[in-house]
Amino acid sequence: MKNINFVGPRYIFISISLAMIALSIIFIFVRGFNLGVDFSGGTSMSVSFNNLKMTPSEVRGIFSEADPIFKNASISQLHNLVTSGTHVKRSLFSLTVGQFFSPNQKDKFEATVQEIAKKRGENVHFESFQTVSGYAAAGLRQSAMWASIVAGIALLIYMAFRFQFVFGVGALASLIHDLVITAGLYSIFWITFNSTVVASLLTLLGYSLNDTVVVYSRIRENLKRMRGKPMDEIVNVSINQTLSRTINTSFTTFIVVFVLYLFSGPVLRPFAFGMSFGVITGTYSSIYIASPILIGWLEKRRRKVALRR
Amino acid sequence: MRTDRIRLIFVLLVLFVSVIFMLYPPAPSAKGFLGHLFGNIRLGLDIKGGSRLDYVMVGKKPTPELTGQVVTVLRRRLDDANFTEAIVSAVGNDGIRVEIPGIDNPKKAEKLIGQKAQLYFAQVLDEVRSSVKPAPKIGLSYAGAQWLQSKNSTDVWYLVNKYIQVGAGRLQLSGNYVSNARAAVDTQRGGWKINLTFNPKGASIFFQITQALIGKQLAIVMDNYVLSAPVVQTAIQGGSAEITGNFTYNQAQDLAALIRSGNLPVSLKLTEEQTMGPTLGADVIRRSLIVGLIGILLVMVYMLIYYLGAMGVVAVIALFYNAFFVFGMLALTHGILTLPGIAGIILTVGTTVDGNVIIFERVKEEMRTGKTMRASIAAGFDKSVAVILDANITTLITAFVLYYFGTGSIKGFAVTLTIGIVGTIFTSLVVSRYILDLMAPLIKNKYATISEQPASIKGGRSR
């Protein structure tokens, strides 16, 4: 069977990863996240027009006439909306502003928009509407934070039970690696960061841990079977033995989430973005980071055990 | 083989249960084959359309009793207005969530929920036409009185006192004494009115009040607006009253419903609203279905090509099996399928493949040591159990946490992910095992040198 040398150039890969992590941290702290309305408070709506040639700037024109806050709204055109059963197509836009709309404000606003659109010869429908007050956003941020903390602690406890200390540290390092880099990508590419993204990141933690668990349990097995062989060889053989599993699993998962990223609507796209790139970093880290960084520690431990004998 | 037979029974039983719950009871609105297959799965508001309204209670310190009271009142109001599918629930210690499926415009529901509906009767001390609120009157007889606007004409103001002078004492009559309220045709003035019925205690107070106020105006006040202020003609016995005000049918119906369901002990402030129109919802579910199918097909093709032959077929069957399992369990547990929930199902494709790949790779390794096919399969599965459990437990942990902390749609993700993981474990360890065993005679072990070799306990490569 082919035997690829993964652990030889490990310092190069560890350096690349450290650089990626540093870049991500800089982006996260300097630029921050493009928070979704559920985290930042505000209103996001999707509206459709019967005019398929409608442009975002025309939409902005209509909406900012109704409420000047829409001058700074983020507006993007989505796929055309087709009513099921008919073949009537409507152009679809998503608009986001940082202001909360009370029921009364919403009623008035919608009526005004309808009126202005009518004057301009356009027919507008409000397809979806989400408005979040600062109070609710703070609550959601808090529960997202708690979810992350509890999931993190639960996974740590699991790892403590499942691995010896050295392996636990390695698994933790690769978890942090995947989490920070994926979160950094959200900041770098300015992808909406909302509560589904938190779900995506937490699921990713589980996935990344999967990959690591599979390689680690093979290393443990091989530590017994290949006693006396150099540590980097044991680790490298283990990575190679699990390689087709790692690649197959990651590739198939990547296929489904990437298809989801490409074709699903705006709601699931931020989620699928994290899953797609998270699977890539997770695979990379379980091959090039999680196991190679163990070599030094495992060797040290082996020397200690040998001395004691 | 006995274990094989037990496996077969489990495989068929679980599949049977899944399919039964998908099909039975037959969904009333189901259309076509797909409609019947998925008709029993409850869809979240973010897919089928509807509104989620989150409120926070303000005005009083929230207690469990208070929250319960608010939920009951809202429940009654929504039922009364025919939003019977609406769900009212308490969230945290001061939040109230109302979820109403299927409506295009939540305006009416919002109006019903937003009103405190505090109804009371009050003595009218003065009536003024003014565009602004008149200055308060000072004097002993005006103690406790306040200016309130008329509901019908905004420039009419009444000076009312809810402590009604009856003899030497004062009496109060609030909506809490009303036992029933019905909309009825107003034969005298046209339009609609509301007939009120008091409970016995309310009837007696109403009699005393009307007796004291003969020839004077009695105001009916709701949420600090005067609904009407008729002049009392005679003392009314029998405990019934009417609210007139030239209402439309809908206004009278809504008002009657509000009075019937009782008043809210606190004010509710909207903190979050999410409304999804049915057109966009239908579009979303169609897209997600297509996306899911494309993803699954690509994965199946990949598995068939990578594992040419029996193993590829096993992987494809496993994918189908787990899909049935997930949808069946969703129908069985009445879990709600939300948009992130669909993402959870799509992720299940990944975990199912993962389980199979772990096993196949192990079996292949065992085959390389020259074992028979059956022995390789047995050894391969035995060595994969721990890894498969490990790999899925980590995902289960996050799914549980997300279920506990997540709001509606995220909870949906946690639910499908959990079901998917359980399905993956079962599919990998039982279903795939059975089918692979079944196919064992068809697979040729190209590594086997001797036709029959004793199954060695110690697998792996030689040292």
Span B242-269, pLDDT tens digits: 888 778 888 888 788 778 877 787 888 8
Rg of chain A over CA atoms, in angstroms? Answer: 25
| Minimal CA separation from A237 to chain B, in Å | 11
> Going by C-beta distance under 8 Å and a sequence separation of 6 or more, which residues neighbour residue B302?
A251, A252, A255
pLDDT (tens digit per residue) in A105-155:
888 898 899 999 999 888 898 888 899 998 889 988 988 899 889 988 888
Token reading at A144: 């997202």
Are A196 and B340 inside 8 Å of each other by CB? yes
CATH fold, domain A42-132, is Alpha-Beta Plaits (3.30.70)
**The CATH number of domain A10-36+136-308 is 1.20.1640.10:** yes
For residue B133, CA distances in Å to A218, B106, B142, B147, B156 come to: 81, 32, 16, 7, 9
Are B275 and A130 inside 8 Å of each other by CB? yes
Mutate to test the interface with B, among A163, A255, A279 (most CBs of B within 10 A): A255
| Minimal CA separation from B417 to chain A, in Å | 9
User: What is this model's ipTM?
Assistant: 0.85
| Minimal CA separation from B126 to chain A, in Å | 31
Are A81 and B354 inside 8 Å of each other by CB? no
Q: Which residues of A195-212 are buried (b: 16+ CB within 10 A; e: fewer)?
A: bbbbbbbbbbbbbbbbbb
- DSSP annotation of A229 reads S
Residues of chain B with pLDDT > 70, as a percent, come to: 93
Residues of A in contact with B93 (CB under 8 A): none
Residue B290 to residue B288: CA distance in whole angstroms: 5
| Minimal CA separation from B53 to chain A, in Å | 10
Q: Of all helices (H) and strands (E), which one includes residue A31?
A: none
Please give the domain boundaries of chain B with CATH numbers for all domains: 2-43+277-442 (1.20.1640.10), 50-114+271-275 (3.30.70.3400), 119-249 (3.30.1360.200)
Identify the pLDDT of residue B31.
64
> Judging by beta carbons within 10 Å of its beta carbon (0-12, 13-18, 19+), is residue B425 exposed, middle or buried?
buried
pTM strictly above 0.90: no
- DSSP annotation of A79 reads P
Quick one: average pLDDT of A153-164?
Answer: 83
Residues of B in contact with A271 (CB under 8 A): 340, 343
Token reading at B193: 């009115």
Highest mean pLDDT among A48-62, B89-103, B116-130: A48-62
Token reading at B59: 């005005």
A42-132 matches A10-36+136-308 in CATH topology: no
Quick one: average pLDDT of B306-320?
Answer: 89
Range B20-26, long-range pairs (CB < 8 A, 24+ positions): B20/B328, B21/B328, B21/B329, B21/B331, B21/B332, B22/B324, B22/B327, B22/B328, B22/B331
Domain boundaries, chain A: 10-36+136-308, 42-132
Identify the pLDDT of residue A30.
94
β-pairing, A74-77 with A89-97?
Answer: antiparallel
Are A210 and B358 inside 8 Å of each other by CB? no
Residues of A in contact with B342 (CB under 8 A): 268
Residues of B in contact with A129 (CB under 8 A): 273-275
